[in-house]
Structures are given as C-alpha cells and as structure tokens.
Amino acid sequence: MIVVAKIGTSSVTNARGEIDKASIAKLCKEVAAVRAAGHDVVIVTSGAIGAGLPALGLGGAKRPRDGVTLQAVAAVGQSRLMQVYDEELARHGLVAGQVLVAPLDFRERSQYLHARGTLARLLDLGVVPVVNENDTIADDEIRFGDNDRIAALVAHLLGAEVLVLLTDTEGLLTADPRLDSSASLIEEIVEIDHVLEGIAGGAGSARGSGGMASKLAAAKIAAWSGVRTVIAAAHRDGVLTDAVNGESGTGTLVQPHDRKLPSRKLWIAFAVGASGTLVVDDGARRALLGGKASLLAAGVTTVEGSFDENDAVEVAGTDGAVFAKGIVRVSAATAKDMAGRRSAELPDGVPPYLVHRDDLVVLP
C-alpha cells in the first residue's frame, strides 16, 4: 500500500512561525511505524516560507506580503525544513529524499509522467520522498495555493490507496467552531457537494495558506482517483497509523468513488489549468454529456480567452456554467474562425472538432 501524508504549515511551525521540531518528530515516528507495517509513505509538507521568516527576522508583524520577498524567504527556509526531516527520519533508520514540484510539473503531461517515475523509483529504493511545492519559483501557488492539491495529485499519479491530510483541527466540522460551540465532527463523506463546500469555508490559519475548503477540493480529486482520504488532526496520537488502518473516529473520512476517471482524463480535469472557454449550444452540450462525442466546431457559439493548440480549455453551456474540460486541437484564433461552421464548410486540413472525445472529460 502507498500512503501519502500531507502536513500543513500550521502543524509544522509554532505561533512565531518557527519550525516545530517536535511536530515533525512525531510525524516521522508515525511514518516509521507505517513503514514497519509494510507500507510505502510519501510526505507532502508545507512550511518553507514559515521556516525562513524567523531566520531573516521577518516573523510576526514583519511578515512580508509581496511575492518576490516570499519566494526569497522560501529559498532560505526550505533547507532548514528539510534538515529537520533528514534528522528525524534518520532516527528511525529511514532516508529522506527531497522532491520540489511546481505547477508546470503537473501542467505538462511529459513532466507529470516524469514526476511519477521519479517518485516511484525513490519508493523502490526504500526512500521516504518529502515533497514540497517549489515556492521559490511557483509564484501563483504562493499567492493562491497550498500543498493539498499537490498531495492529491501525487496520490493519484502513484496509485496510492490512502491520502491523509493532517491539519490543526480534528477534521471537517458541522460549523466553524470559532463561531458555533456546538460544532461536531463529520466522520464520513460519501459525496462532496455544495453544502459541504459551504460548511468548509475558506481561510485557514494565519501561518497557513490553505483551509478546510482546499482539503475538500483535494479529497474530491482523490475520490475520483479511487483514493480514500482522511482529514485529521496532526497532533492526535497515532493519527497516521489509525488513518491507514481505517480506525473509526480518526477524522473525516472521504470515501473514494466506485467509478474512477482514467489517468489522462483525471490529469485534464484537475492537474492542468484552463487557458480559455468554449461556449456551446444546447445540442452540443447534450452530446458531450453523453460521453461519446467530440466537440465539433458547429456546436461552438463563443470562444473566450487566448490559447494555443494543445492547451486546456473549459466547456460551458449557454448559461455560462462550466460542465467539461479538454485539450483543444487548434489555437484561439482558429477556433473563432471555426465556431458555428459545419464540417463541410471548414478548409481542407482543419479537423472538424475542436476537442476530441479522448481529450475531453465531463467534470464530476
């Protein structure tokens, strides 16, 4: 069994933003226990920026907000963060291997497959990969992201059985405990819907960039990968072992779907960002929802955005609601020229479809 364990900034740093070595030591001890039970483990960790702030005297109220400075802080903090993982895993006879990833590693299919090969080989060698976002160059992720989605994508590309998202709360609660003292733990989720996403809310802690909403989004990716997800408290004794063993009450369990998306379509749906939108008429929408049709030029009413051939685009209905996503076969300029035209009306050499059915996924 392959287990992916993600731990957030708020769980690996203290209130001053400094690395909490005791928290990392606890995680590494539990990783060792899971390894001893015969499972492979990948750690996805946050904390590079939080670790770098104290070293530069920029903690607390002095925390910078501009992206360039945060990238520099991450460069200082990453080595300090990794040193702690090296030392704590070594106490249990384990070797850590640093893996830094950026959005490009998941956007480009060849990079995506290369990342899978590298991580798989590390596991073959008995290494515990310690994955972190490459904050030094991934400016978009510093502004908007966190490692939850990366952890879900890593779980997918490795074919993991379990994704454990460790945080500073016991799981998804029925309400925000800061506002409602009667909030209780939701122990199991079969389907993530808008109601649950509304409960999850948005912002996380002051030190972290995520929150419960990003964890539910990651759990949704994992569910369509056939991966069981557990959202649980990092400080809970034995949390990783209990999550792997499926112990009741460990946290919030998000069940995997019975129907998994194929690897390529999951990559299209969740890993690659969209560069534009194709608005289609009702007939084209019905055909695409049937799952066996390509998006023909005749069904496209509007082309939005600037994209090139082989970029990802969203597909929306006349109401503006996005219902599918795919890899487009032509540029935006060519798509605008093709829109609304039947196949017989297109110039020779131009494909009759903008998105082939093999490259299109109806979004779950």
Q: What is the pLDDT of residues 269-312, one digit of tens each?
A: 887 788 999 999 999 999 999 878 999 999 999 999 999 999 99
Q: In this predicted structure, what is the pLDDT of residue 42?
A: 98
pLDDT of 204 > 60? The answer is no
Q: pLDDT digits over 214-227, tens only?
A: 888 889 889 988 99
At residue 97, the pLDDT reads 97
Considering 93-97, 169-173, 356-360, the range whose residues carry the highest mean pLDDT is: 93-97
Q: Kindly indicate the confidence band of residue 198, based on its pLDDT and cuts at 50, 70 and 90.
A: confident
Tokens of 75: 């460069």
Q: How far is CA 186 from CA 10, 56, 62, 168, 330, in A?
A: 21, 40, 37, 15, 45
Q: How confident is the model at residue 51 (pLDDT cuts 50, 70, 90)?
A: confident
Spatial neighbors of 132 by CB under 8 A, at least 6 apart, are 44, 45, 46, 47, 48, 78, 81, 98, 99, 100, 101, 147
The ranges of the chain annotated as CATH 2.30.130.10 are 273-362
Contact status, residue 63 vs residue 17, Cβ threshold 8 Å: yes
Which superfamily, per CATH, for 2-263? Acetylglutamate kinase-like (3.40.1160.10)
Q: Give whichever of 38-42, 74-78, 219-223, 344-348 has the largest mean pLDDT.
A: 38-42
3-state secondary structure (DSSP) of residue 51: helix
Give the CATH architecture of domain 273-362. Roll (2.30)
- Provide the pLDDT for residue 363: 82
**AA identity, residue 46:** S
> C-alpha distances in angstroms, 362 versus 70, 209, 237, 266, 291?
37, 29, 41, 10, 7
Sheet containing 127-133: which strands, arranged edge to edge?
Answer: 95-101, 127-133, 40-45, 2-7, 162-167, 228-233, 252-254, 188-189
- pLDDT grade for 155, boundaries at 50, 70 and 90: very high
pLDDT at 352: 86
CATH 3.40.1160.10 residue ranges of the chain are: 2-263
The pLDDT value recorded for residue 206 is: 46
- Tokens encoding 175: 């309400």
Tens-digit pLDDT profile for residues 125-147: 999 999 998 877 665 544 435 68
pLDDT confidence of residue 227: 94
- pLDDT given for residue 203 in this prediction: 46
The CA distance from 133 to 130, in Å, is 10
Q: What is the pLDDT of residue 174?
A: 81
- Give the whole-angstrom CA distance, residue 108 versus residue 3: 25
**Average pLDDT over the chain, rounded to whole?**
87
Sign of the dihedral defined by the CA atoms of residues 284, 289, 290, 294, in that order: positive
